[in-house]
Amino acid sequence: MLFNLVRRSVVVCVVALLAALAASIAAAEFEETPSQVNLLPKYRQECAACHIAYPPGMLPAASWQRILGNLQHHFGTDASLDADSVRQISTWLAANSATDATAHAAPPEDRITRSSWFRQEHAEVPAAAWKRPMIKSASNCAACHTRAEQGNFNEHFIRLPQ
Ligand code: HEC
Ligand code: HEC
């Protein structure tokens, strides 16, 4: 009886330990791809017409705020929106923006592609590759990340067009 009880609590402990381990592995995976959050429909609708809906966790709140505050001069194009859409999107981006230390500093031009983590992750991409006709720009994530549209940047789904 006592033996049974001890054995049962050992089993419970092991199960709890495994669950904790699985959770921490899941958390680590998530850190690697901070990208898979449910997108605000308005964001998908308004901010994925010219490029993918960039994951909100890839820029700090200050960068998103500046971008949303200057949509008429948006990286060389006019991406203006009505005030209500801007407010909805801004609020959502702020709540889902980058929070970890590495991504916290606003990158030059508020570009994801100029943040230090981006440069590190892409250090092995040959400089000339960015200019290939199929790619055109580092901002064109989906040229190489075949599941970028789904917010999935996992290395298993990368294909470098020649
Ligand atoms: C009319 C087209 C258009 C719309 C609509 C648009 N963008 Fe852009 N966006 C661009 C262009 C063009 C670039 C520059 C791409 C390049 O350098 O190759 C850009 C770049 C960006 C970048 C920087 C990408 C990098 O290099 O890291 C971010 C962030 C961004 N857009 C966010 C948004 C958000 C948020 C919205 C919605 C409010 C939005 N965009 C709507 C055209 C658009
Ligand atoms: C020219 C092709 C190319 C483009 C364009 C590109 N990437 Fe990548 N990306 C890669 C390659 C290749 C790797 C893997 C590098 C390695 O593992 O050595 C990578 C790695 C990553 C990783 C790390 C993935 C992991 O599981 O470790 C993230 C996140 C990422 N890219 C995001 C982006 C975003 C966001 C954009 C667009 C703003 C982008 N990439 C544009 C080729 C590209």
Question: By 3-state DSSP, what share of the chain in percent is helix, strand and coil, each rounded to 5?
Answer: 60, 0, 40
User: For residue 15, what pLDDT is reported?
Assistant: 45
User: For residue 102, what pLDDT is reported?
Assistant: 60
CA 71 / ligand 1 centre spacing (Å): 9
Q: Ligand 2 site: residues with CB under 6 angstroms? A: 32-33, 58, 112-113, 121-122, 124-125, 129-130, 135, 138-141, 143-145, 153-155, 158, 160
**Contacting residues for 48 by C-beta, under 8 A, at least 6 apart:** 149
Lowest mean pLDDT among 24-33, 58-67, 141-150: 24-33
Instruction: Tell me if 81 sits within 8 A of 56, measured CB to CB.
Output: no
Domain locations along the chain: 1-32, 41-157
Nearest CA-CA partner of 117 in 104, 126, 128: 104
Rounded to the nearest integer, the mean pLDDT of the chain is 83
pLDDT above 80: residue 147: yes
pLDDT above 60: residue 118: yes
Residue 162: pLDDT band by 50, 70, 90 thresholds? confident
3-state class (DSSP) for residue 145: strand
The helix or strand, by DSSP H or E, that contains position 139, with its residue range, turns out to be none
